[in-house]
Amino acid sequence: MLDIPASERIIVALDCDHGRAVELAGLLKGRATWLKVGMTLYYASGPAIVEYLKDLGFKVFLDLKLHDIPHQVRGAAESASLTGADLLSVHSLGGADMVRAAREGVQAAALERGVRTKLVAITVLTSMDAESLAQVGIERPVGEEVASLAGLSHEAGVDGVVCSPREAAAMRSALGPKALVVTPGVRPAGSEVADQRRIATPAEAVAAGASHIVVGRPITQSDDPAAAFSAIAHQVEASPRPGA
Ligand code: C5P
């Protein structure tokens, strides 16, 4: 199992506008290691936001969830890596050729500028459950769908997967001790669930084998984001580590 300090396992999702992202980065500097830039912030602020956060000393997960034809995804992954992002996401549902194209794009950026962006594959969104999967024609159990998509992406050469905490243990044993297993859908006990479905607490997610947990609104919408971050880090610190 990767030996990572608790505070470096938490990726704070900045799903907000530019001004608030800058404010949150200031509040979290010195405590958080990772920030996540998703579509909301990236489409508003562009690649400059990644550079800004990197200059402040953060690691950046650029969660653009690439999903298009392989040619487009290769180019998108290259451009995204050239921002200097440390981690980039691609949708497994685009198929093995598309995930391989994303890996090629990341490698092209590495050759061009020496940036080494790691790639993680989204399996099934944590906002989806059996019912919403059935609505789009996927009838098999969520766990089976996640395992199948993770296997496809792993063979295509990703560094890890994004799944819900409920599938983290299965992913850890299928992908081995070094794989990144990133789990959104994390909610400290008592906090708002909102649109998430397949959730667990931070401690449960890490105990199950998550290398990193993504936490957005429980931190960013709290009255004291820095204190909310530290409380979650303490919960993770106290959680038992899996033997894997
Ligand atoms: O606010 P909250 O903690 O629900 O934010 C979760 C974050 O994780 C969001 O930025 C969302 O885009 C992301 N995410 C997710 N499910 C996935 C992949 C990413 O919720 N499978």
| CATH assignment at residue 190 | 3.20.20.70
116 found inside a domain: yes
- Residue 199 domain-assigned? yes
Could you tell me if the CB of 11 is within 6 A of ligand 1?
no
**Mean pLDDT score of the chain, rounded to an integer?**
94
Residue 163 falls inside a structural domain: yes
Per-residue pLDDT, averaged over 68-72, amounts to 98
In a domain, 191, yes or no: yes
Q: Is residue 243 part of a domain?
A: no
Active site residue 59: no
The answer to whether residue 244 is domain-embedded is no
Q: Is 38 in the pocket of ligand 1 (CB under 6 A)?
A: yes
pTM of the model: 0.94
Question: What pLDDT, on the 0 to 100 scale, is given for residue 198?
Answer: 83
Range of the domain at 219: 6-238
Q: Average pLDDT for residues 14-23, to the nearest whole number?
A: 97
Question: Is 165 a member of any domain?
Answer: yes
> How many folded domains does the chain comprise?
1
Q: What's the pLDDT at 242? A: 64
**Cα–Cα distance for residue pair 12/182, rounded to 1 Å:** 12
Q: What is the pLDDT of residues 179-209, one digit of tens each?
A: 999 999 999 877 888 887 888 999 999 999 9
CA 111 – ligand 1 centroid, Å: 31
User: For 66-70, 156-160, 236-240, which range has the lowest pLDDT when averaged over its residues?
Assistant: 236-240
202 lines ligand 1 (CB under 6 A): no
Whole-number Å distance, alpha carbon 63 to ligand 1 midpoint, is 9
47 assigned to some structural domain: yes
Average the pLDDT over 23-39 and give the result.
Answer: 98
The catalytic residue among 29, 54, 59, 65 is: 65
